[in-house]
Amino acid sequence: MEFKDYYKIMGVEPKAGTDEIKRAYRKLARKYHPDVSSEPDAENRFKEIGEAWEVLKDPARRAEYDQLRQGGWRGGEEFQAPPGWDRGGHQGWNYGDGAGPDAGGFSDFFETLFGGGRRRTRPRKGADVRARVVIDLETAFSGGTRRITLEQPEQAADGSIRARKRSLDVRIPPGMTEGRQIRLAGKGDPGPGNAPAGDLYLEIHLQPHRLFEVEGRDVHLTLPIAPWEAALGATVSVPTLGGAVDLNIPAGSASGRRLRLKGRGLPGSPPGDQYVLLKIVTPKPETEQQRELYQRMRETFPFNPRAAMEVRR
């Protein structure tokens, strides 16, 4: 029997990631499907592609194949399994119905490496799928539902693999932070034969917010205040993700002062806090009376904000 170079069959480099290999498989499977392809020898190419995918999509089987391939074997060369290969703990692979995805079995090369005449007690599940979900900060705080659309392979009755779009309503629990994952068991790619489907992992990403910035579970807000609120102190209404709350601004506060609202960040154990950064905003005088008020302040307050910066001439 001849050695099969599964990477060459799939048209990918040996260092290719699973996603790249999956894209190559889907493209080639559509191109060489016997029902639609006009390519010469399409049926055999379709079977080769399916066999290569069965090896390269599975980390354990791919590792065994890579170990063998590093011995210098080339595609098409006469091959004989190394002594002791079938005693190295390699698990056999059989589908529940005795056929692979192409419904036509695999080559002798595949069966020599991975068949072994033994039946797995549990069928190998389908591939896990990973996707990004972008949510707004309000949903991260309160939770909610998002509808997502995935393109996933589906095995038809004739054994061919076709891509189809599938929509899912996903429940977002409260307290999700940037980069967190949600696992949906059995919502990944379908398994071969009667094997269970893989899992779907959704990675959460937060949309930028017009008011808040997020760091972990903590929320940060820049709060504009008037000069008299900073000087005399005040109680002002402050927005939070859970609704407006009253915040006490101590007298004599300066721009850049940071105040904390404990437990007002994203939910969790423990919940995050909300940090309020004060920013004094000076109103522009629009009337003569307002200009006179500023003039009286300048004359009344012996205040030099640059006193600490003065140097001798």
* pLDDT tens-digit readout, 129-155: 888 999 999 999 999 999 988 877 665
46 pLDDT exceeds 50? yes
* Residue 158 confidence class, pLDDT cut points 50, 70, 90: low
Residue 241 near residue 259, CB atoms below 8 Å: no
DSSP E strand boundaries for 207-282 = 212-215, 218-225, 234-238, 245-249, 258-261, 274-280
Domain boundaries, the chain: 6-115, 129-206, 212-300
Residue 43 near residue 67, CB atoms below 8 Å: no
Q: What is the mean pLDDT of residues 20-45?
A: 86
Query: 132: helix, coil or strand?
Result: strand
* Burial class, 38, CB count within 10 angstroms (exposed 0-12 / middle 13-18 / buried 19+): exposed
* Residue 193 confidence class, pLDDT cut points 50, 70, 90: low
* Residue 119 confidence class, pLDDT cut points 50, 70, 90: very low
CATH 1.10.10.410 fits 6-115, yes or no: no
Q: What CA–CA distance (Å, rounded) separates 108 from 113?
A: 9
121 pLDDT exceeds 50? no
Which two tokens mark 236?
A: 């002002």
pLDDT in tens, 70-80: 766 777 777 77
**At the topology level of CATH, where does 212-300 sit?**
HSP40/DNAj peptide-binding domain (2.60.260)
The reply to whether 212-300 shares the fold of 6-115 is no
Q: Which CATH class is domain 129-206?
A: mainly beta
Residue whose entry in the numeric block shows the structure tokens 């404990």: 262
